[in-house]
């Protein structure tokens, strides 16, 4: 995958992360689904790959407090529930089926 984000914005009113990709598409990711898709060791069992995070525990009003780019391959998201250990790679985001 060669496409990279050319713009990333958190729309806290609509609870969507909007990414404009370098090859043209603009995709929107619902915050709740994105928080549930975290692949860090606190959310996914490293040995089995099974989810640890119960999606029912994610608040409906969860929001992004801050974001940091990580190299040329990912964004780190700081969530309103205090979670901040996950990295969302460009490939992972681009391949999400829940994007609008």
CATH number of the domain that residue 13 is part of:
3.30.2020.30
- CB count within 10 Å of CB 18 equals 17
- Does position 1 have pLDDT exceeding 70, yes or no? no
Q: Closest Cα partner for 16 from 6, 27, 28, 34?
A: 28
Please give the pLDDT value at position 2: 80
Cα 36 to chain centroid distance, Å, stands at 8
Q: What is the pLDDT of residues 16-70, one digit of tens each?
A: 999 999 999 999 999 999 999 999 999 999 999 999 999 999 999 999 999 999 9
- Does position 98 have pLDDT exceeding 80, yes or no? no
Q: Is residue 99 part of a domain?
A: no
Q: Is residue 100 part of a domain?
A: no
pTM higher than 0.75? yes
β-pairing, 64-70 with 26-30?
unpaired
For CA atoms 43, 45, 49, 50, the dihedral sign is negative
């Amino acid at each position: 995958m060669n496409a990279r984000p050319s713009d990333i914005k958190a729309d806290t009113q609509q609870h969507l992360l909007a990414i404009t990709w370098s090859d043209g598409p603009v995709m929107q990711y619902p915050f709740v689904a994105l928080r549930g898709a975290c692949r860090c060791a606190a959310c996914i069992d490293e040995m089995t790959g099974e989810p640890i995070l119960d999606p029912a525990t994610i608040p409906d009003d969860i929001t992004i407090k801050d974001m940091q780019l990580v190299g040329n391959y990912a964004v780190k998201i700081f969530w309103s529930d205090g979670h901040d250990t996950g990295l969302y790679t460009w490939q992972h985001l681009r391949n999400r089926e829940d994007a609008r």
